[in-house]
Amino acid sequence: MARPILSLFIAATASLAMTASAASELPLEVVQIGVTPNGFSSQPRGWNSFGIQANPDTTPGFSFNQDSVVSQCNTLANTAALKDAGYVYCSLDSGWSVGGNGDEFGRIIYDSSNFDIPSLADHLHAEGLLLGVYVVPGAFIADEDKMILGTNVTIGSVCSGDNGLARCNFDYSQPAVQQWHNSVVDQFASWGVDLIKLDFITPGSPSNGVNLLPDLSGGVIAYHQAIVQSGRKIRLDISWKLDRSEKYFDIWETHADSMRTDQDINNSGQPTFVSWEVVQRAIDNYRQYITTVMQYNTTLTIYPDMDNLFVGNPASVSGVTDDERQTIMTHWLGAGANLIIGSDLTNLDDFGLNLLTNTNAIAIADFTARFPMQPRNPGTGNNSSQQLQAWIAGPDPSGTAVVVIANYGPDQGQGGFGTSLSGVQTVNVSWSDLGISGTFDVHDVWAGDDLGTENSGLSVKLSEGQSILYKLSRS
């Protein structure tokens, strides 16, 4: 993998003055993330099964059952670098539960032919890991005649219709609906569940192929309230590509701990996990997300979920080059996004393991868990989609900041920027572009190199798909 080339920031005086003037009209508003509704102050880190389930050719021998999941998640427990970096969640995606009915009270139950959830939780907890499960809105249509636990109310009296997922639609104005959610989450808590992924939420979940009601935000509120009353600390991650309007973002960030900013990014059914075209889309969706929600409030209480990280396996399995793998990791780190690995943990290469566990990079994740990055276009400081892009996280009160500079390569159809600059490009980013001033010590995070001090900006040569991750410390 070719190294990016950093040079001193040099620009003609007139050009620099024009850039500074343009950027000076765009002051930097630092974005922060505070404590989430369920009490978390960092993004979740771990592994999720969906990528392998949807792309089985990437992981020969994997079956979605307890033995295969334990094999994957034991890698988290037994690889000191992963565990030390905080990768502790072992999250099951769709298929762990019975798909057509619940128990005698209509509560979600595990598929005992493949999983014993309490014993899985016990095993994970003994290894210092945590358990995640997957749910969708509604109760089963087949359970409409069953009584909700602790009530004399049948499910069918508060849940009707067909959402296309074998489930009816709750009337969230009915108190018994909250009692159903409480009963489900109480059972999850008794099993030892630590994270709930709530999928198929609307407004959002575009092109879902089922029959969702246009507003399922009540499900997010109900699961949050159920978590609170359960007495167990459980994360709530909601999905997918959720509505970013102020009305709904307020619901998401006051009831959930992370929210998906895009659709699924994996190459479903393919022998590789992801394509660069879709990564370009995911990065631009994060740009759209952060530039929208920071208009409502620059102190957020929810983490962005950019979907699973497919960077751990060799390029031939991941589906992207090593430069692109590093760029993916850099952007997920910079965004303060969920660091949930989708790769085959039993087939990590040295490069992938370093991407996931590099101590300097994980320190960046700790920083962006409080100060997520936002785009600042080179030359203007604007926040539009650009092939040659810059981002800044912070500065924090001490003046420390994180800067990402990228060349995404030609737009492959979903990048949002529409340009096709080929080959190596020089990207000049002034302090004015970034909205900062002063003298900073510059550290190249991935290379581990201290690059000296800079007082005006950075200039870097980047190949297609390449990026660089800097930590700036005020001199």
The catalytic site residues sit at 199, 264
Tell me the HSE value of 58 on the side-chain side, using a 13 A CA sphere.
Answer: 32
91, two tokens = 């999250």
Burial group, residue 183, by CB count within 10 angstroms (0-12, 13-18, 19+): buried
- What's the burial of 68, exposed, middle or buried (CB within 10 Å: 0-12/13-18/19+)? middle
Cβ partners under 8 Å of residue 103, min gap 6: 109
What is the C-alpha separation between 402 and 123, in angstroms, rounded? 38
Sign of the torsion angle spanned by Cα atoms 331, 429, 297, 371: positive
Residue 430's φ and ψ, nearest 5 degrees, are -90, 160
Which positions ≥6 away from 118 have C-beta within 8 Å? Answer: 190, 191, 192
Please answer whether residues 338 and 237 qualify as being in contact, where contact means their C-beta atoms are separated by less than 8 angstroms.
yes
**CA torsion, ordered 272, 273, 277, 279, to nearest 10 deg:** -150
- Residue 258 to residue 252: CA distance in whole angstroms: 8
- The secondary structure of residue 3, as a DSSP letter, is P
3-state class of 413 per DSSP?
Answer: coil
SS3 (DSSP) at 51: helix
Q: Which two tokens stand for residue 171?
A: 């009337």
Neighbours of 142 (CB within 10 A): 15
- Residue 191's DSSP bridge partners are none
Here the tokens at position 463 are 């190949």
Bridge partners, residue 195, by sequence: 132, 235
